[in-house]
Amino acid sequence: MEIPLLDLKRQYLQIRTDAEAAIHSVLASGKYIMGENVLHFEREFASYCGVKHAVSVANGTDGLTIALRSLGIRPGDEVITSPFTFFATAESISSVGARPVFVDVRSDTFNIDETLIEAAITENTRAIMPVHLFGQTAAMDEINHIAEKYGLRVVEDACQAAGACYKGKKTGSLGHMGVFSFFPSKNLSCAGDGGMITTNDDRLAVICRALRSHGSGEAGRQAFYYMDSENCEPTDDDIPCNKYCNYLIGYNSRMDEIQAAILRIKLKKLDSYNRRRREISAVYNRELQETGYITPATVPDNEPAFHLYVLQCENREQIIEYLQQKGIGTGIYYPVPQHLQKAFRELNYVPGTMPAAEYFTRHTFAIPCFPEMTAEEQAYIIQTLKDALGTLKGGLNNG
Ligand SMILES: Cc1ncc(COP(=O)(O)O)c(C=O)c1O
């Protein structure tokens, strides 16, 4: 049996009629950028997350960068984040000229260890960027408490966690700002790139709207005054304001209408997609416990979105090879911890400084866990995982 890690075609086939009608209607409208679909999707997503504002952007990486810019984070500042994540998390910090400060992850949830954050705070720290890795939320109460104590901002990297909940609240509403990716592999995905910034803060929303579109127009004009306290409030007799009046150095990072149209259709299905991911994960947890694999920990008060279902074991490479021979797709998220990326060499981290993250980069792998998977496919994966353990000479040890 051939089972890919993720099969995007199956999801498309389920929404095909609606998606094709929506795409055709965009094409026929002649309005391809910042039209009705983007406007509606922003409102619908804000309401889904339980926040005042959702600002769409071209991708999650831009979303993180623009969120940091809107907070005024700049060269000389430090932002605390996790070393066990996708590169874009820390890349966004560097791209605004600030320094990523890595704090090791917890050994159970893969998320930043909140008990280690305070020790990493310096006079230059401005923000904490927790990542809800693999769809499970970080310890937000503790993180928000620390942020409040030290006057820091919290930007959730919720790129992998659309629809996940923490104490009954949706991701994107758990810090000062939240950022999502709609990359095709994500829980809520489009047919290309897309992203979203969420916040309850009116001013931050205006600044993000300005920055995503060259700092121009009315949002740019307002953002100009918000960003610099020396600028007085905008007045009616101020210089004219249109899209060719630019107030800030921003980005071209708008979501296009076709992506928004697809996302509106899928947003209605996100809860059922995530429910199915949790059902699949529960079966894996039950069937794989007390084998040679460590299954993902679930923490109280948390409704994970299981963007990925990640196992730990010794002899990872042999297990992956065995699964591959049997037609089962796997993935390694992530093989290099961020503090040891060559791109961050100037930060001068050395191996051994983030033991939990470094351990995970050597021992974890993801197995198929997508909503459209069948029970038959899952049974085959479970049996093959068990066979893999039996086949490996000498068996496996958890370490
Ligand atoms: C944790 C995390 N942060 C940021 C990103 C960046 O999102 P995008 O690929 O949409 O730029 C991703 C997605 O790839 C991610 O998984």
Mean pLDDT of 347-376: 98
Q: Is residue 78 part of a domain?
A: yes
Same domain for 59 and 202, yes or no, is: yes
Q: Is pLDDT of 301 > 90? A: no
Look up residue 97 and give its two tokens.
Answer: 């000229």
**Residue 138 Cβ contacting ligand 1 at under 6 Å:** no
**Residues 115-142, mean pLDDT to the nearest whole number:** 98
* pLDDT tier, 290 (very low <50, low <70, confident <90, very high otherwise): confident
In-domain check, residue 41: yes
Please tell me the predicted confidence (pLDDT) of residue 239: 64
Q: CA 12 → CA 218, 265, 371, distances in Å?
A: 38, 11, 12
- One domain for residues 333 and 231: no
Stretch 13-42: mean pLDDT: 97
Give the C-alpha separation, 137 to 160, whole Å. Answer: 10
Residue 17, in any domain of the structure: yes
Q: Which of 266, 298, 325 is the last residue of a domain?
A: 266
Q: How confident is the model at residue 392 (pLDDT cuts 50, 70, 90)?
A: confident
Which among 6, 56, 61 is the best mutation to test ligand 1's pocket, defined by most ligand atoms within 8 Å of the CB? 61
Q: Is 60 in the pocket of ligand 1 (CB under 6 A)?
A: yes
Determine the distance separating the centroid of ligand 1 and the alpha carbon of 185, expressed in angstroms.
10
Q: What is the pLDDT of residue 5?
A: 98
Q: Which domain holds residue 364?
A: 271-391
* Ligand 1 neighbour 157 (Cβ under 6 A): yes
Q: Are residues 40 and 147 both part of a single domain?
A: yes
pLDDT value at 395 more than 80: no
Percent of the chain with pLDDT over 70: 95
Residue 394's CB: how many other CB atoms inside 10 A?
6
Tell me, yes or no, whether 156 and 33 share the same domain.
yes
Q: Per the structure, how many domains does the chain have?
A: 2
167 with 242, same domain: the answer is yes
* Listed residues 239, 266, 293: the one ending a domain: 266
For the chain, give the percent of residues with pLDDT over 90.
Answer: 91
Question: 310 and 364 in contact (C-beta within 8 Å)?
Answer: yes
- Strand 364-367 to strand 309-312: parallel, antiparallel, or no bridges (unpaired)? antiparallel
For the chain, what is the radius of gyration of the CA atoms?
A: 22
Q: Is residue 396 assigned to a domain? A: no
Residue 352 has pLDDT above 80, yes or no: yes
* pLDDT exceeds cutoff 80 at 231: no
Read off the CATH number of the domain in which 146 is found. 3.40.640.10
In a domain, 171, yes or no: yes
Q: 146 near 80, Cβ under 8 Å? A: no
Total number of residues shown for the chain: 399
CA of 336 to the centre of ligand 1 (A): 16
Residues 331 and 371 placed together within one structural domain of the fold:
yes
pLDDT value at position 229? 64
Q: Are 303 and 279 in contact (CB under 8 A)?
A: no
Give the CATH number of the domain where residue 361 resides: 3.90.1150.10
Buried b (16+ CB within 10 A) or exposed e, 270-294: beebbebbbebbebbeebbeebbbb
Query: Within 10 Å of residue 48's Cβ, how many Cβ atoms?
Result: 20
In a domain, 155, yes or no: yes
Task: Check whether 132 has a pLDDT greater than 50.
Answer: yes
What burial letters (b/e) apply to 368-377, b meaning 16+ CB within 10 Å?
bbbbbbeeeb
Other beta carbons less than 10 A from residue 192's beta carbon: 15
Q: What spacing in Å lies between the alpha carbon of 138 and ligand 1's midpoint?
A: 16
Ligand 1 pocket, residue 89 CB under 6 Å: yes
Contact 137, 302 (CB under 8 A): yes
CA-nearest residue for atom 12, ligand 1, is: 159
* Ligand 1 atom closest to residue 160's alpha carbon, by position in its atom list: 16
Q: For residue 96, is it within any domain?
A: yes
CA angle 300, 49, 73 (to 5 degrees): 95
Query: What is the Cα–Cα distance from 369 to 373, expressed in whole angstroms?
Result: 7
Whether residues 175 and 60 fall in one domain: yes
Residue 160 near ligand 1, beta carbon < 6 Å: yes
Q: Over the chain, what is the mean pLDDT?
A: 95
Kindly state the tokens that stand for 49.
């997350």
Our answer on whether the CB atom of 217 is closer than 6 Å to any ligand 1 atom is: no
Q: Does 356 share its domain with 251?
A: no
Asked if pLDDT for residue 398 goes beyond 70, the answer is: no
pLDDT tens figures, 243-273: 899 999 999 999 999 999 999 999 999 999 9
Kindly state whether residues 260 and 278 are assigned to the same domain.
no
How many Å lie between the centroid of ligand 1 and the Cα of residue 338? 14
With 80 as the cut, is the pLDDT of residue 237 above it? no
Give residue 396's pLDDT. 47
Q: What is the 3-state secondary structure (H, E, C) of the chain?
A: CCECCCCHHHHHHHHHHHHHHHHHHHHHHCCCECCHHHHHHHHHHHHHHCCCEEEEECCHHHHHHHHHHHCCCCCCCEEEECCCCCHHHHHHHHHCCCEEEECCECCCCCCECHHHHHHHCCCCEEEEECECHHHCCCCHHHHHHHHHHHCCEEEEECCCCCCCEECCEECCCCCCEEEEECCCCCCCCCCCCCEEEEECCHHHHHHHHHHCECCEHHHHHHHHHHHCCCCCCCCCCCCCCCCCCECCCCCECCCEHHHHHHHHHHHCCHHHHHHHHHHHHHHHHHHHCCCCCECCCCCCCEECCCCCEEEECCCHHHHHHHHHHCCECCECCCCCCHHHCHHHHHHCCCCCCCHHHHHHHHHEEEECCCCCCCHHHHHHHHHHHHHHHHHCCCCCCCC
Q: Determine whether 126 is exposed, middle or buried from the number of CB atoms within 10 Å of its CB (0-12, 13-18, 19+).
A: buried
Shared-domain flag, residues 50 and 119: yes
CA distance 233 to 237: 11
Domain boundary among the residues 266, 286, 321 is at: 266
Q: Is residue 398 part of a domain?
A: no
**Domain match, 257 and 359 both:** no
Q: Which residue has the higher pLDDT, 298 or 42?
A: 42
**Residue carrying the six token digits 């939240």:** 178
Residue of 118, 196, 205, 208 whose CA lies nearest to 157: 196
Q: Which two tokens stand for residue 303?
A: 């409704």
Query: Does one domain contain both 124 and 225?
Result: yes
